[in-house]
Structure 1
Amino acid sequence: MNIVSIVYKKELKDMFRDKKTLIAAILIPLLMYPIIFGFMGKGMKSNMDSVKKEMNVVIVDKGNSKLGQLIKSQKNIKLKESKDVFNDVKEGKILLGLEIPEDFDKNINEEKKADIIITMDNTSQKSNMAMSEINAIIDQYSKAIVGARLQAKNIDTSILTPVNPVIKSAEKKENGMAKMMLSLLLPMMLIMFAASGPIASATDLGAGEKERGTLEPLLTTQASRMSLLWGKFLAITTMGIVTSIAFISGLGISMKTSPEAFNYGVDGAKFSMEPKTLLIIALITVLLTMVFGALALSISIYARSFKEAQTYLTPLSFIGMLGFTSYFIEPKNMSMIFLNIPVVNATAVIKELILGMFNIQHLIIVLAWMLVYIVLSLSFARYMFSKEEVIFRT
């Protein structure tokens, strides 16, 4: 263990001395997500505030209808002129174009169906937001018309709403959206970083040492190959964990500084996890990082050069893409099959934990599989490290 400790410290020092490793493993995960979600959140908030404050709209209302007057009276409606409404909407000069027929009020008064033509750009976020605002006004106006018609016939207007849904949500409205978004993003990102985090270190400590000619001198020391393997493996795992911590920190900063990116405009969104939840998620992430670290080291040792190792290890990072299964796994009624699929099972359990579900049976199954994966991956790494034709493969 003393030799393993020496190798571990030596490899860790080398990695932290390498500026490229620090940038790739710590700085980028720590800063990338606050920047990405910062722009995303501020952009969404800016668009929403912009539409609520001012909407550039063209209204063609030859009959000067009451609906047209109602829309024009809104504070955030800014009327524009246009010779070609369709192209102006398409080019973003205006958000919406409304055409109200001359006989609109006549049809309403005669209790006939009255059409209104709305031109929008369904590829524009602002145009879609403006459409929602106008739809709300039209819906309000339609209900007022129907209500007036019923009153004229001495019919109670409550007949329009025979069912009144009283919604009781499992979470507070301001917290539910943030919780759902985190249950989609966090498992996916943790799995991706558990898979990709050890790759850079493993490439350097395996194929990199071969290329630099420093592996052979290590083998001539009193340190056994297994001691070297364990030292390198623990160093790679540590770096992978540091990368995951940097990512979680970056995500935490993002949620604090740019809550708009997580709550879809719902104000006051707050979300927190219990310490035991964080500990279990951390344990699963560490175990998964160990699996990928052992596999990455095995592949790196097999490769002839640094470049070849990068080529071989690229598919390993793609396995981390299985974290995207968080987008379609529904923990509350998922099949047990998901708990027996590598990587997917970790995603499922992490999502359960984020949503406040502590299913002991699921946790035991996944942790048991994790231990099996670690034993298999370490056995593979040991096999590769003990083969002379692999160690000296150049």
Structure 2
Amino acid sequence: MLKDALIIMTKELKNMFRDKRTIFATIILPLVLFPVMFGIIGLITKANEDAKAKAEYTVYVESTLSKPDELTKVIDEIQRVGNFEIINGKIDEKVIESDSTTVGLKVGKNGDIFIATVIYNSVKEKSTYAAQKIREALMNLNSELVSAELLSRGINPEELNFVQINDAVVGVSAENGNVEEAKAKGQFTQMLAMLVPYFLLLYIFAGSMGLGIDTTAGEKERGSLSILLVNQVSRTSIALGKILYLMLMSILTSVLNLVGLVIGLYLEMSFLGEANMPFSVELDAIGYLLLFITVILLALISSGIIIFIGILARSVKEASGYITPIYMLILLFGISTMQSEGSKAFYYYAIPFINIIFTMKDIFIGTFSAANFLTMFVVNSALVVLFVYLTAKIFNSEKVLEVTAE
């Protein structure tokens, strides 16, 4: 039976590779889409940040300070942190609302304490950026005034630091115990634990949908399925072969999407000046093996569901209508668990798809549990067997040839 199933799988692969549009959509597009998308995001973000930093801003200052040198200190600090033109005069809030490069500053004193109010348009990025830089300047002034006051009383400001905080990072390795490198690796691992399960879930299932519907309901409509069924190959072998074909293609699509995603993230970080982030993850051979098994199970269960629904449906339109709600539910699973960490309650590992997400997170962040993995493996394996059985049962009945007349 397996030999016949492999023959069917090979036939499906040959048919797929004859279609240039399918090759482009499943192989070329994933490698191009993410690098282009994230590259453009990085370029636009970088250009936007540069534009905010290089822009010339106008600050209208309303001052009630009695000493001119106090206002001079405020102005000097503001001009030190950016390109700010200072205009002393009444603040016109309508101008600030309409002009993104104009902000206002009301400054006065209550005893020995400076009272400053920054007026800006929070809807506009440049206005928000200018307000942030002004706050930075005022905090610098505050630090200088505090230090000067302490020194005037014969107190060294550094002697008032009673707490010293040092970081020691565990769970990731770094050359010569470099804490910053370990932090960067930890951040990258967190990013992988968040993105990889989501994108694998999304693209393995989404990548299976089009091909799965075409090889089942599509072949029904074209009449090619009935020709295949009259061969000497058992119908169970045909069902298994189609599932294996779809599993292989969904894994290929997901791997190519992941490669494109990593390249895209690297391009985005390069444009943003963060390309020194280490693109490595702390996984040993066992970790990669467990991850591989998990991905295979995800591909198998996705393929089983789609082939079952596709062969049950009487047309491509009907199959799409059945699968779309399931796809939306899986998309919801991915989004709702994206920010979660692994090692949740035991019952999470008994829920299909969710258990795969948390298992992958466990593998990445080092919270792996053999009991949870075994639960996930048994649940998903049982579902795969169930869908193969149900699909084979439909293939062995006349229902497999039912077609809706359009």
TM exceeding 0.5: yes
Deviates more, 1:220-229 or 1:355-364: 355-364
- State the AA in 2 paired with 1:66: K
- Give the conservation status (yes or no) of the 8 Å contact 1:233–1:297: yes
Task: Name the CA shift for 1:120/1:17 in 2 (closer, same or farther; >3 Å).
Answer: farther
CA distance in 1, matches of 2:45, 2:80: 26
Residue in 1 that maps onto 2:76: 69
> How do 1:79-118 and structure 2 match up within 5 A?
79=85, 86-87=93-94, 89-91=96-98, 93-94=100-101, 97-101=103-107, 104=108, 107=109, 110-112=111-113, 114-118=114-118
Q: How does 1:213-224 map to 2 (within 5 A)?
A: 213-224=223-234
Aligned pair in 2 of structure 1 residues 320, 83: CA closer, same or farther (>3 Å)? farther
Q: Deviations over 1:259-309 (max 9, x none)?
A: 268xx8656211213463444323212211111111111111121211221
CA gap 1:115/1:41 in 2 versus in 1, 3 angstroms: same
Aligned mate of 1:362, from 372, 379, 391: 372
Corresponding residue for residue 277 of structure 2: 269
Paired residue for 1:44?
45
Distance in 1 (alpha carbons) for counterparts of 2:121 and 2:138: 19
Question: Offset of 1:189 from its aligned partner?
Answer: 0.5
TM-superposed deviation, 1:195: 1.6
**Which amino acid is 1:350 matched to?**
M
Q: Which 10-residue stretch deviates more, 81-90 or 247-256?
A: 81-90
Match of 1:258 among 268, 289, 293: 268
Alignment of 1:284-303 (within 5 A): 284-303=294-313
Query: Paired residue for 1:16?
Result: 17
Instruction: Give 2:296's aligned amino acid.
Output: V
CA distances 1:30-82 after superposition (whole Å, capped 9, x unpaired): 222112221222333333344444453424254644112211233x3242779
Alpha carbons 2:239, 2:388 under 8 Å: kept: no
Residues 59 and 68, structure 1, Cα contact 8 Å, conserved in 2: no
- CA deviations 1:162-217 (Å, max 9, x no partner) are 43333334463333333322221111101111221111111111111111111111
* 1:116 match: secondary structure: strand
Letter in 1 for 2:338: Y
Confirm whether residue 201 of structure 1 aligns to residue 211 of structure 2.
yes
8 A Cα contact 2:297 2:380, kept in partner = yes
TM (normalized to structure 2)?
Answer: 0.83
- The alignment status of 1:372 with 2:382, answered yes or no, reads yes
Give 1:238-253 correspondences, 5 Å limit: 238-253=248-263
The gaps in structure 1 that reach 5 residues or longer are none
**Aligned equivalents of 2:189, 2:122: Cα separation in 1:** 28
SS at match of 1:327: coil
Counterpart of 1:40, as a letter, is I
Moved more, 226-235 or 349-358: 349-358
Structure 1 residues 163 and 360, CA, compared in 2 at 3 Å: closer, same or farther?
Answer: same
Deviation at 1:360, TM superposition (A): 3.2
Out of 319, 330, 347, the residue aligned to residue 341 of structure 2 is 330
Distance verdict in 2 for CA 1:86–1:187, change over 3 Å:
farther
Whether contact under 8 Å (1:196, 1:320) holds in the other structure is no
5+ residue gaps, structure 2: 66-70, 173-181
Q: 1:128 to 1:278 in 2, by over 3 A?
A: farther
CA distance in 2, matches of 1:175, 1:47: 27
- Number of matched pairs: 383
- Deviates most, 3-12 or 60-69: 60-69
What secondary structure, in the 3-state scheme, does the structure 1 residue paired with 2:292 have? helix
Q: Give me the whole-angstrom Cα distance separating, in 2, the residues matched to 1:330 and 1:48.
A: 32
Residues 8/342 of structure 1: CA separation in 2 closer, same or farther (3 Å cut): same
Q: Which amino acid aligns with 1:226?
A: T
CA distance in 2, matches of 1:369, 1:90: 58
* C-alpha contact 2:235 2:395 (8 A) present in aligned 1: yes
Which has the larger displacement, 272-281 or 179-188? Answer: 272-281
* 1:250, distance to aligned residue in structure 2 (A): 0.4
Task: Give the root-mean-square deviation of aligned CA atoms.
Answer: 2.9
CA spacing shift, 1:83–1:116, aligned 2, 3 Å: closer
Q: Which moved more, 1:143-152 or 1:159-168?
A: 159-168
Paired residue secondary structure (1:268): coil
Q: Partner letter of residue 185 of structure 1?
A: L
Residue 166 in structure 1 maps to residue 162 in structure 2: no
TM-score using structure 1 length: 0.86
Contact kept? 1:55, 1:77, Cα under 8 Å: yes
User: Does 1:387 find its partner at 2:397?
Assistant: yes
CA–CA separation in structure 2 for the residues paired with 1:255 and 1:222: 50
Q: 1:265 to 1:359 in 2, by over 3 A?
A: farther
Instruction: Determine if contact 2:315/2:403 at 8 Å carries over to the other structure.
Output: no
1:141/1:173 Cα in 2 relative to 1: closer, same or farther (>3 Å)? Answer: farther
C-alpha spacing 1:265/1:373, structure 2 compared with 1 (3 Å): farther
In the alignment, the residues of structure 2 paired with residue 358 and residue 93 of structure 1 have an alpha-carbon distance, to the nearest angstrom, of: 50
- Going from structure 1 to structure 2, the CA distance change for 1:85 and 1:351 (only over 3 Å counts) comes to farther
Decide whether the 8 Å contact of 1:85 with 1:119 is kept in 2.
Answer: no
The amino acid that maps onto 2:85 is L
Instruction: Identify the residue that residue 283 of structure 1 maps to in structure 2.
Output: 293
